[in-house]
Structure formats: C-alpha cells, structure tokens
Structure 1
Amino acid sequence: MKIKNIAVAAFLLLSALEGNAQVQKQNKADKEYAHLAYIDAIDTYEKVANKGYKNEEMFQRLGNAYYFNGELVKAVKWYNELFEMNKEQEPEYLYRYAQTLKAVGEYAKADEILKAFHNKINSDKRGILFENNKNYLEQINVNSGRFEIKEAGINSTQTDYGSAFLDNKLVFASARDTGGIAKKKFKWTNKSFTNLYRAELAPDGTVGKPERFEKKINSKFNESTPVFTKDGKTMYFTRNNFLGGKRKRDDQRNTLLKLYKADFVNGKWTNIIELPFNSDQYSTAHPALSSDEKKLFFASDMPGTLGQSDLYSVTINGDNTFGKPENLGSAINTEGRETFPFISAENELYFASDGRPGLGGLDVYVSQMNSDGTFTTVQNVGAPVNGKQDDFAFIIDSKTRNGFFSSNREGGVGNDDIYKFAETRKLTCEQTLSGTIVDSENNAPLDNAKVVLLDEEFKTINEATTNADGTYSFKVDCNKKYHVRTIKENYETKEIPVTTKETAGKTEVAVPLEKRIKPIDVGTDLAKTLNIPIIYFDLDKSTITKQAAFELEKIIAVMQQYPKIKIDVRSHTDSRQTAKYNLDLSNRRAKSTMQWLIKSGINKNRLTGKGYGESQLVNKCADNVPCTEAEHQLNRRSEFIIVSME
C-alpha cells in the first residue's frame, strides 16, 4: 500500500505514519467425629504468639484471620507485630495494615502506610502488551463477526481512503482525476497526489456521487484525512509541506507532511494556516478531534516517538494557539506504526497499527479513553474489518453504529478503497474468571465454599458458592486487578491476587485451602498436621534453636489442649557421617527435644523418644549419592507421633 511507504510526494500514508471464615469451635458431641479430635490452627498460633514467639507467617495469618472477619482492632495487634518484624511486605498487607490503623485512630501512621502502598503498586508494571501470546488469533476471533461490510460505492480505480463526516456528507481523499497513474507496485512520483472529495450520505446509508472539495483546500500536492468540528466551521487536514504557493523540504530534500487548519466563512473554506507544532524536519498527519473538541489527536514521527510513528494529542487553546504535543505513551504506541486516529462520541480511540499481533499489515484497534487521560486495554476490532492486508482510517457514528474504513484488500475497485459498515454488536472485553476450590492435602474439590470477588481496593464486587465439583465463575473485565477470597468452614480463609488477561477469554485461578480444623488420632504426626518445618536442627547439632522452640510451642499447645495425649519423638538425620555417628546424633536430638518439652511443662510420662539415624531417609540421598544441601536437609527431621489419646 503506497500510503505507508516512505516517499517524497506520496501522502501521509507514504510517510511511515500510515501510512470471612470464623474460628469453628469443636463440637465434642458430634457423632460423625466421635473418635477424632481437632486442632484449630489459628487458636494454636495465637497461643504460641502470646508467649512472645515471633514468626512472620504466623503474624500474617493471625492478622488476616481477624481482618477478613472485620475485626480490625484485633487485627492491628498482629499487623503491628508483622511490620515490626519485617516492613517489606506485599502491597496487600500494606493496605490492610493502614485500614486497621485507622480503626484504632492512628490516622497519621495509616497515611504513611497508604503512601508506601501506592508507591509499591505504581512501580509494579504488569502490562506488557503482548509477550509470548500464542493465542492471539483466538482472541481476535472472539472479537470478530460484529460488522456487516460493503464497498462504499464511491471508489475509483485509483486510491480512495481516509474519510470524515461533515453534516450529511462524507469527505475523503482520492487520486482520481489528478493526472497521476497508480502503478501496480505503487511506485508513485511527485505528479501523483490526492485531493479531497465529498459525497452526500443518504438516510438509507447509500453514498452519492463524489465531487471535488473546494479548490481553496485542494492544492497541486496531497491533501488527506480531514476532520471537522461539530458546527462545521473549522476543519483540520493533512497536506504535504505546501502553503501560499511555497513548497518546503527537510534536510534530505523531502517534502514531508503537515497539519493545517481552515475556517468556514460566508460559505467558503478560507484562512488556511499550518499548525504551530509542525516542522519541516518531521511529519504530522491524520488529525482527529476529541468528543469535546478540546484536543486534537494526530500521528507523527517527531523526536520522542517510540516507534516509526506514534499517536499524539495536543490541547486546543483557541485563538490559533495550541499546547505542547503529548505522546500517548506505551499504552497505545509500539515500536511499529500507530496512525489514523479517530475519537468516537463515546470516547473510543480507534487507530491503525502494525506493531501489535494482528491479521496482517495495518489492523484497526480500539481503546476506551478514561476521564483521567488513561486508556483501557487495546483490542483488535476483528474481522471482517481487519484482514490480511492493510485496514485503516476507521470512523464510526456512535448513534447509528455505522461507519467507514479503508483497505487495500483483495477484490477492491482500486489500490485503496473505502468500505462502509454496520456494527451489529459492540465490542466489550470480558474475561471469565473461574477456578476450582480444593483441599490442599488431597486435592479434593470443596463444595459450598464462599468465593468473594474484590476489586483492587478490596471492595466486594460479587460473591459465589462453589458447586459440587468445587468450581466458581465470575464475569470480569480484561486487564484488571482483582482479589479472590475463599471462605470455607473448617478451612483457613485464603485470598489470592489476580490480574486478568488483556484480551477476551478465560483467566483460571485454582485455590487450595488448608484445613484449619484438623483431625488427629493415634498415628498422627503432629509435625505434618501443624505444618512444622521438618528441618530445625543445624548440621551435626542437637541444640534446640530459637526457631525450633517456636515450632515446639505448637506441640505444647496441643498437648495442653489434650492432657491425655502421649507423643513418641522420632529423630532422623541425613546420611553424611557414619551410620553409628548419625544414630548417636539422632538419639541426642530426640533426647534434647524431650527435655525441652519436659522443661516447658509436659509430664515426662507422656513422652517417649528414639533416634533412627539415617535408617529412614525420605529420598535417594544415601551414602555416596551426590545430593544438594537442600536434599540432605529433608532427611534431618523430627516426627511427633501420637501413640495414645486416652
């Protein structure tokens, strides 16, 4: 397509511009569990914490347990402990901490935490447009089939493109009757150019016979892509660098593209001036007006452009003055070409780009402009507007949802043709956020679990209850941050952050829940039930470390809750050193553990213990087998087996 090649006289297209789960009390009379006992994990943590032990994960869980139930005054105690222990927490904890601080009247401190929260999330860039997106064709297919298109009926055998609405008329660029010949390979010369034409738009959608636009606007060089104010009194358009009979060139002797403005006075277009941010050294082209007509959007390759051509906006001050052009940024622009912007009455930004995954050449994309100047996810409008060739210059009437676009697709009348369309279904970017809630121990699906969908500021949006197969589903927006909070009786409440994908489709989030009310019986290993790390002895040591003491407090809490429980302490080592040395070491560790428990108030008659050395390894790391330190550590463990509950 000629209009996207870099050439001296060809036109803008030629200039690379185209172109709340609560703690459950055990019901000891419950017949279904008559022979079992249960441990409340949160209650156990709190008993341990109240003895002065500090553990980051424990404080997180305790704070969350109260926060999710709305008990902010209780939660602040544990969040205070958490941040005193480690100020570097995930953004979610900063937000929760600030809210709990406000609950106790500490507003100044809460503001400090909120500031830190915002700083953290603002620096967390998650939105890469498209990296390793293998299913882009599938995503485009979701957006396709929303248009009925036809050839506009105004095309010539030459080039026709870049239309605009003016009252009940369509104004467009055409190379017809200009004396130039469009070669098959689009090798244009300075004698080939486009002028503006207009045609009546009938109520039934048909387009009348084209006629030349005013001679004052058309020159011996290229004119294209006009846009008009709603009152029809001002137009902006693109032309080669030619005004007042004078043609200007850049340092390489090329005649580039510029934006011009004209006024409609006494039935004539006059007062043609070039816009002040033009330059002889770079091109500006394809103007578009914001819906309030306070900003002008355009394409340019001016200094600061991210790619070959970018989209910019500039404030219209009035009295022929304008603000400083601003690049729309990486949310819109790529290393490729972004060009032909159009702003609908609903503040939709349509534009053409070859820098995004598409169907071929320039594709038409759309993004909703927010009131703060930001943009929503850019979406490909899909087929049949987009195809294998170049598709661009998309305009739409927001009331009728009818419009026009240009394309050099096969089967056209000329080189580039104008097509009309009727949009049968508006484009929305919707994701299905779904998943399965399962038991973390056995991966069994959990039914009747409450799933709460929250926004980025933790405000509840929707709620659901899992089906018999443990599944849930929500309809959400694309490329947006959410939190999925899951609540299930006898399980710990869990919350997972999620950012939905940029394009329509599915985002799956499975949530494994850990039992909070855990059954115990003879044979239960309390180390596994209480999630006690299997490693808390240093290499060749049998001394109870500070971390080991924290973990052993959990054992004490359970034994105090059930005074008749008897425990067998079993100690294991890795395979390094001799078998005799390891057996002796494990016996010392078992004895050291029992002595610590007895010293902490557990009757010695409730404890037995033995060392097993390296005789019960949990992996391959036997003598002379190469293993990592982490693999060896898995074998240095203690087990706390319930041998009696009576």
Structure 2
Amino acid sequence: MGFLVSTMKTQLFVLLLFVVSFATVNGQYTQEEMQRILSKSSPGELLRENSQLLLVANYYQSIQVIDRLLEMEPDNANYNYRKGYALLFSQSQYEQALPYLEKAVKNVKKLYDASSEKETAAPVDVYYYLGKCYHQNETLDKATEFYQKYLESSTSKNALYPWAELGITQVENAQKELKNPKNYELKNLGAVINTEAPEFSPVVSLDGSALFFTARRLWKNGLNKDMKDLNTNHYWEDIYVSYKNLNNTWSDPALLEFCQSGQNEATVSVSMDERKIYVYNDVSGNGDIYFSEFKGNQFQQIQAADIKKLNSKFWEPHLTVTPDGQTMLFVSDRAGGYGGRDIYRMVKLPDGNWSEPVNLGPEVNSEFDEDAPFLAMDNKTLYFASNGTKSMGGFDIFMSVQDENGNWSPAINMGVPLNSTGDDIFYTTTMDGTTGYLTSFRNGGFGEKDIYEVKNNETGKQGISVLKGEIVVAGNRPLPQDLSVTVSCLNCGNKTSVTLYPRVRDGVYFSRLEKCREYELVYAYGENETEFYKEKITTKCDTEFEEIHSRALLRLDDMTIIPFMKYHLKGNISDFADQTPVGKATVEFLSVDGELLEKHSTSSEGLFTSALLDSSFFGDPIHFMVKVSKDGYLTQQFEVNETLGEKAVIDLAYLIDKPDVGKELSKVLKLNPIYFDLDKSTIRQDAKVELDKIVQIMNDNPSVRIELGSHTDCRGSANYNLALSERRAKASADYIRKKISDPSRISGKGYGESKLVNNCPCEDEVVSECSEEEHQANRRTEFRIIE
C-alpha cells in the first residue's frame, strides 16, 4: 500500500524539475540487461540511467546503478544523495540512508544541476531528507537542525517546504510525548508473524482468536519467486491469516486463496462473521476497495466493491464497516476534502443502500493525511492514523469519540509507547478495547514494518455489553453455512433486531447489546429461515464492560439444540499385581509444562474426584498429566489428552506397581517396542518417545536403579548378535543418562540371543519355523529394577 512514502505524495524528487533528454525506457531491466549497463556504461550514461530509474520509482535498480558510480567516486555528494534518497523511498531504510545523506550534506549547492554528469554537489533537499532520517531515529535535536537548514536554504514555493515545517512541529510533539509515556504494553508479535519483509495492516477478530494481515514474502510453494516490485525489491502484497493456538501463540500464517502473485492485495477489514474480507487492490485507477466472500469453505476471487460513491478516480486505500454493519468509514484523497487523504462516513439506509459520503470534519481530518479508521465495538470510539500537526513523526494513532449528536471530539494522540517517531498505523482492537494490534516501523523490529500487540491499560475496558455466542455441532460435524441467529431487543423503544451468521470455522458470533435490556435470540436455518430454537438474555444496568456467553449444542440430524452437559472427572487407583484399591495415594493434576493444577488423596477404596473440568464445555480439548504416588509404590505419571464430547463423566483408572527388585517395567509402563534400523544402534525418534517414559519414572523415583537389557532374535551368529545388542543397550542407556540427575542409576547390557522368550532357535543347522512376529518378540528391550 506504500503508506510510508505516500505521506509525501506531493513531494517531487528534484529530477522531475527538468526535461529528460534521452529515450524513455519502460522502467525496468532484466538482470542480464542490468549487468551489461553496469559493466559497459560510462559515468555519464550511468548517471542518466539512474535519473531515469528514479523518475519511474524503480529504486531497487537505481541503487544498483548508483552503487557503481559510488565505486568510482565514493565521496561524490551527488551520488551519495541519490543513494540515500533511493534507500529512504524504496523501503524507508532511514538507518541505511543516514550515512549517505550525512556525507552528501558536506557539499550542498542551491543551483544543483541534476542533468549534468559533472555535478558533484547535492541539492538543498538533502537537508530535509537527513532531518527526516534523524527524526525517525529519535535524534530529535539534529532533526530540527536539518529541517531548519532546509527552510533557511529554500523558499515556501518548494514542495518540501510545508513538510519541513511539519517536521519541526512533529519533533516538538515527540519531545513532549517522550517525556510523558502512557500506560501501554507494547510487544512485537515475533518471528511467527513478522519477518525481514514488511508485515502490516493487521485486522484482529473481536475475540482475538484470528489475525488477518498483509505481508510481502515468498510463498511456501515458491510460485511468486519471480514476482517482485522493483520499487522495493519486495514481493507483491498478499493477505495471510493466523489463528491463536490453545497455548496463546499464533499459528503459522496461511495465504488466502484469492491472492495472485503479480499484483497487490492488502487487508483492509474483515466482517464480524469472517465471511467477507475487504481488500485494497491497485489494478485499476489509483487503487480501489475490493472484497471477497467466503463460500464453499474458501474465499472467492476478489471483485470491486459495488457501493455507489465509494471507489472513484481518486485513491481509496482503506475501508472499515462497524460490527453491526450499519456504518462504513473509508479513506479517499478525492477533491473537496481538507487536504491529502481524509476519512469519510456512510450509513446504511432503510432500503439497504448506502448514504452519500460525508467528511468526518476538521476534528478528525487535517490538511495532511488521515488513514486506517477503525470504529470500536461501542460504535462511537474512532481510532485512526494521522500524519498531521499533532503527530510525533509520520503516522500516529489517534482517538476521537462521537457524541449523541453525531459530533466528533478533537482527536487525541494516543502517545508513547504506542506511537513512535516512525509510522504507526492500522490500529484495530478486540471487543473490550484492551488489546490492540498495529503496524509500526521503529527501532528493534524484524524488518521494514512489523506488527505489534498493544495492551491498552490507558483507556481501560469499554463500558458496553457484548454477546459472544457459540454454536457447537455435535459429533464435530461442519457448521451449516445457512444457519443464522437473530438478536432482537424486547424492551428497546425502536424494537431493534439484527441477523447474524456464525463464523464457519468455530460457530462463534458477536453482537453489541444495550445496557439494562432484555433480548431474544432466535436460531434459524435454510432459505426459508426456519426457526428451531429461542433463548432470552438480559444485560446488566451498570457501566462496566459485560461479556455475555451463550453456548448452544446443535444436533444436525433433527436440527435441535440439546443442553450442554456438566462434566465430571473422577477416578480410581489400584494395585498393578492384584487389582486391589490403593488408599491414601496422592493424585496430582499437572499441566503439560509441569505446573500443579490440583492435588488429591484417594479414599480407602482408591477413589478420587476432581473439579478440574467444572468450567469446561463440549468440544473443549483437555490435556494434562496425572501423577500418582504412594509409599512402597513407584511414582507414575499418566497423560490425559482428548476432546470433551457426549460422555459427561471422565473416568480415569490407573494401576500402580511396587518397585520390587527384578520387576520388568515395560508392561507396567505399557512401552511400545523400541526399534532400531537394520544393523544400527542409533536411537530413532519413535524409540525416544518410549525411552522418555523411563526417564520420567526414574526422575519421579530417584532411589530406583534400572538395568536396560537389549535382546536379539536368533538370526545371525551368536557373537554378532551379542555385539549388536551391546551397542544398542549402550546407546539406549546413554540417552537416558543425559536426562537424569544421577547417570549411574541406569546401566545397559546386551544379551544377544541368549534369552529367547519363545522356542525360536536357529543356530548351526537349525532352521527356525517361527513367524516374523515371534522373532520380533525376541528382539526386545527390557527395563528391570535392580535396586
């Protein structure tokens, strides 16, 4: 979307001020053509090529050309200026541009001749661009110094003059804001989401479970490897989605189906039900709003939004629709605004059409650029980005609140650390307003633009009521896409109602509710919207944030809602040898990370109960460990990993054994056979899983000593089999030794074929008639307690 350089869309590189006297090229070269130009062109020809490439915004190849000239004259201020300029405009690489511009300002000339190959000075514009680099690097005194130098060396007629004045104002804002940081917690989303390439324009789902965003990266299948934007040498913009895992981390992002390798598609906004995604696309005009609908379990090809007065011959880079679908905010640089890009509003009319666009006015829009509006769940708190006189530098996130008369409050800069002296834009939040996501280009990131998470402790939770409904289909069957829920207010003056469609991926839906009101939820399906279930809910009359949960379990066979069951967890502990109950055993419930969740003691009948599942629901995954210990018994751990279904009682039954000398643990621990590759003693991945069970029991029972015995079948010579089994026993024991505190507690011994468990001899001339399964029984690993 190019928002970083678009903030200076009216700026013109000084090269545009003269008429190019040589043939116009198409603006890009193949790699072979570029190598020929670099190797065979004279300095004058290279300079003309650089000028032409800059004119068509081919910054990447212009840098290749200027690098060749810098090899010849590294101190040439003209060349250094051009390199710094291209770096700044190609990828906003202010840190890389800085040393070149610092060298260029050592030789500045007002009557700079961009067309002359003899020109060795830099134009006065270099003062502005150097100030911009210092500004973004938070070297604020130097930023002011060079902004001022530009103003002193230039006139108000120059295109950069108002931007230099703005820069000085923004530096003053930054100095004030940096001294008074706000109560935000800012976190880079890390390497799963962010890369060295740009990631931007995040749109978070209302419950924070999904993140849609734009990235310029190589596809996993590599099909876009030859498709790059020569302006930046980045891949074209594509849209990805990542979902939050159970451990609160983001999943590997998935590319959306409609993305094409040779054009820009950027996230703009996503409908509340995630069935429509609005996309910025620049295949026509200056760039317009498109959309894609989710049908047949995938997003369809994008098409231009058919909303009257939305797209125009001007630039429309952004749009957002409120969760209730009744208000649309969009951005345009069309004529009649306050200057640059402005934010406009349209509302849904009774006939289903959209109203005429209305500019949000001077409290929001300025003579500079505003972009990326997002209206919070309360339908009155507006977050947007502005690069105006209240910003700290580039775009900052601002907030304005609409009153009951439709007027917007003066926009407030949301401050540090949410904002920085670089571009901060595309802020969206979850439904309670406390968690937001934004794009920022600041020090310490992974690449040019990164996505950050913001914990907003400054403004607090919004004082609204929100319904979060969920429809779970019994048997984990897919949710019907034609199922709807109509939410109607029963005691509101205008009897409002809204029809919602659950998210296909998880059956979740949302609705903003009025305080102190009663609502009816009506479930329906099919083209005729056949009603099959109703439910009533009531909101509180306070001013606090309220989240109402409604969960419905749907049985598809007869389209009926069945009650959610209450889950109970109980169990019993018995002796492994004689199955008798084990009383007064300690039962500990642990997370998979080892955190203690609950602790119980069994009754004299070996029974225990737990409240661990009291707040769990149908379809919830449960994953924890059960640790059982008692004097005179081996302490053992058992894994519980399943998804809650139609069985209300989860009954755990465990057998624990005594640590008698000579006890063979493979059966006690239900170990799978430990396999080795032919004639190998290297521990395989499947064997590690079984050996880790021995590690666990040795760590839980620090006084137990174990002998690991490795056996072979009869095939092969006795000496060979003995040597092979000894190597395997040693490798297995060594694996365990590395994971226990006292390595001497485990020993390994190879027995070869000396202890067959069945009558399968094949020594000398004896030919065994045993099956492969019988031979496998002899190729075993045993773990015997020796102390």
Q: Same fold (TM over 0.5)?
A: no
TM-score (norm 1): 0.41
TM-score (norm 2): 0.34
